[in-house]
A and B are shown apart, each in its own frame.
Chain A
Amino acid sequence: MSDADHTPSPGQTGRRPMPPVPVKIVIAGGFGVGKTTAVGAISEIEPLTTEAEMTDAAIGIDDPGSRTDKTTTTVAMDFGCITIDSTLKLYLFGTPGQSRFGFMWDDLSRGALGAVVIVDSSRLDDCFAAVDYFERADLPFVVAVNAFHGRLSHDLDEVRWALAVRDGVPVLSFDARDRISVRDTLLALLDRALEQAIAAPS
C-alpha cells in the first residue's frame, strides 16, 4: 500500500510502479444500443477498442448440419476505465455486439463484479441472450433501458415482463449519454452485487 501513491522513475534500482487492483463490470447489449456511448460518458479515458480473434463455426441457422467450415472473425470490444482510488481501478468492458459470440462472454465475465444489460426498448429481442447468460452465470446484473430523448416506447414493467427478468433484478431507465445517469446505473448494479454478496453463505 505504501508504494501506491508514489510511482518511482523506472531507473530506480529495484523499485517497480505498483499497479492498482483491477475490477471490472461488463456492459452488455445488442448492436448499437449505446454500450460505447455509456462507457464513453463515464470513462476517464476515451473508449479504447480491443479486438479478439474468434473462431466461429460457420454453421449458422441456414445449415445446422454442416460443421466443416470454420471462419475466424475479429470481434471488437470497447472499454474504458475509472480510477476508484489509488489502489483500485474499475474497467468497463463492452461485449461484442453480435449475440452469436456469447461463448466468449465467459472470458469477459470471469471475476467481474456484475453486468449492465443495456436495452433498446424497441428491440428487446437483442438482449434475451444476455439476460439468460447472466442469470445462469449467477452474476449480479441490472437491465438498463436506454431512453432516447427521455421517452420509452414501453414502460419498465412491460420490459421486465417481456424479458422474463426475475424479481429482484433491477430494471431501470437511463440516458447513456449522461455521466451521472450512467454512474447511477453502475451504482444500482453495485447495490445489487452488494445484496447478493451479503446474502451469500460465507
Chain B
Amino acid sequence: MTAPPPDDPGRGGPGRRLPPYLRLGAVTGAYPAVPGPEPPGAAPAPAAPAPEAGAAASGDAAPVAAVHGLRPFVLTRGRVADDACGIRMETQVTVNPAAIDDQGRPDATLPTELRAIVALCRQPLSVAEISARLRLHLGVTRVLVGDLQTSGHLAVHTQDVPNPRSVDLILRVINGLRTIS
C-alpha cells in the first residue's frame, strides 16, 4: 500500500486522532483509521436512541446508540478548529467514494449529523454551505468536517488555495462576471 497522497482524507494533519465517536464508522481498507487515545473524560451518558428513518439496527448498536441524540457541540467536545488545519469557510469538501454505497448512502453506523454531512458532499460543497444547509454552526461544522477527513469519509481540499493577488485569477473572475447579463 503506497503512502496516501497529500490531499488524502486519511491524513488529517499533524496531531489528528480519530475521535472515539467516529471509530466505529471509520472508513477502512484504503485509508486505515488512525487509532487515538481515550479522552480524559468519559463520553457522556448515552441518550435514549431516537428511531431514525433509514438507520440500520445492528448487533453493534450499543456504541452507536451512545452517540445518537448527542448534540453537535457534544460531538466536538468543545474543540475549536484552529487555523492550522487550514479549513476556511469556502474550502471545498468532497466525499471519498469508498465512504458511500452505490446509492450514495453513507455508513449507517455514523452519527446522524455526520451521515448528513457525508451525504451532502456527493457534490463538491463549501464548509459554509454544509453549515447552512444542515443548520450547524460554522465552527462545529469545521471540526466535524475535519474529523470526517481524519476518518477517511471526506476529502477536504485545503490545498486548493488560490492566490488572491494573481493577475490571471482576477482576470478569469472578471471575464466570468462579464458574461452575466
CB within 8 Å of B: which residues of A? 7, 10-24, 42, 48-53, 74, 77, 79, 81-85, 88, 90-91, 93, 107-108, 110-114, 179-180, 183, 186-187, 190-191, 193-194, 196-198, 200
Query: Smallest CB-CB separation from A187: which chain B residue?
Result: B177
Judged by a CB distance under 8 angstroms, whether B108 is at the interface is: no
Would you list 26 pairs from A and B whose C-beta atoms are within 8 A, ordered by A residue? Answer: A10-B104, A11-B100, A11-B102, A11-B104, A17-B95, A19-B94, A19-B157, A22-B162, A23-B162, A23-B173, A51-B135, A51-B137, A52-B139, A53-B138, A82-B177, A83-B176, A84-B176, A90-B173, A91-B89, A107-B88, A111-B164, A113-B164, A186-B177, A190-B170, A190-B174, A200-B165
Q: In the docked arrangement, what's the CA distance between A82 and B90, Å? A: 13
Within 8 Å by CB of B170, from A24, A113, A180, lies: A113
B162 touches A48 (CB 8 A): no
Q: Which residues of A sit under 8 angstroms from B178, Cβ to Cβ?
A: 187
**By DSSP majority rule, is chain B's interface helix, strand, loop, or mixed?**
mixed
Q: Which residues of A sit under 8 angstroms from B161, Cβ to Cβ?
A: 111
Contact with A along B103-130 (1 / 0, CB 8 A): 0100000000000000000111010110
B164 touches A84 (CB 8 A): no
CB within 8 Å of A: which residues of B? 88-97, 100-102, 104, 122-124, 126, 128-129, 131-133, 135, 137-141, 155, 157, 160-162, 164-167, 169-174, 176-178, 180-181
Known: A93-B128, A198-B167. A84 touches B173 (CB 8 A): yes
A48 touches B129 (CB 8 A): yes
**By DSSP majority rule, is chain A's interface helix, strand, loop, or mixed?**
mixed
Most chain A beta-carbon neighbours within 10 Å: one of B137, B173, B180: B173
* Closest chain B CB from A61 CB (angstroms): 27
A91 touches B124 (CB 8 A): no
B180 touches A183 (CB 8 A): yes
Known: A111-B161, A196-B165, A197-B166. A18 touches B172 (CB 8 A): no
A24 touches B137 (CB 8 A): no
Within 8 Å by CB of B131, from A50, A110, A111, lies: A50
Q: In the docked arrangement, what's the CA distance between A184 and B62, Å? A: 58
Q: In the docked arrangement, what's the CA distance between A183 and B90, Å? A: 20
Within 8 Å by CB of B97, from A15, A82, A193, lies: A15
* Closest chain A CB from B135 CB (angstroms): 8
Q: In the docked arrangement, what's the CA distance between A21 and B92, Å? A: 8
B123 touches A17 (CB 8 A): yes
Besides the known contacts A187-B174, A197-B170, 4 further A-B residue pairs in the complex with CB atoms under 8 A apart: A7-B123, A50-B128, A50-B132, A197-B167
